[in-house]
Amino acid sequence: MHDLTGFQRDLLYVITGLDEPHGLAIKEELEDYYEKEIHHGRLYPNLDTLVEKGLVEKGEKDRRTNVYTLTRRGHREIEARREWEQQYTERKKSAPA
């Protein structure tokens, strides 16, 4: 996951957390988090990059709606990232104030 942008990592987390992760739902979640509009020209190319990297699978819900799900590799990458973050966040918690 080291070669992803922060936005791409956020996409992975949002996709993981949604019951039915389609483009508009992902866009709305990110707009809530970033507190600004996410343009289609930013969202979909980044989703396509995640598909190309094998982290996300793109499926069709209907003719107009694509659904995005994490691949096994995507789940492994998120778990590895959590473990990496924990080694730093837990160390600081245990350090004397």
Question: Which of 8-17, 50-59, 62-71 is predicted with the least confidence, judged by mean pLDDT?
Answer: 62-71
Q: Please say if the pLDDT value at position 43 is more than 60.
A: yes
Q: What is the pLDDT of residue 96?
A: 60
Token pair belonging to 44: 């979909």
Which pLDDT does position 42 carry in this prediction? 97
What DSSP string describes 8-23? Answer: HHHHHHHHHH-SS-BH
Tokens of 42: 């930013």
pTM as predicted: 0.86
- Asked if 73 and 12 count as a contact pair (C-beta separation under 8 A), the reply is no
Identify which has the larger pLDDT, 22 or 97: 22
Task: Check pLDDT > 90 for residue 94.
Answer: no
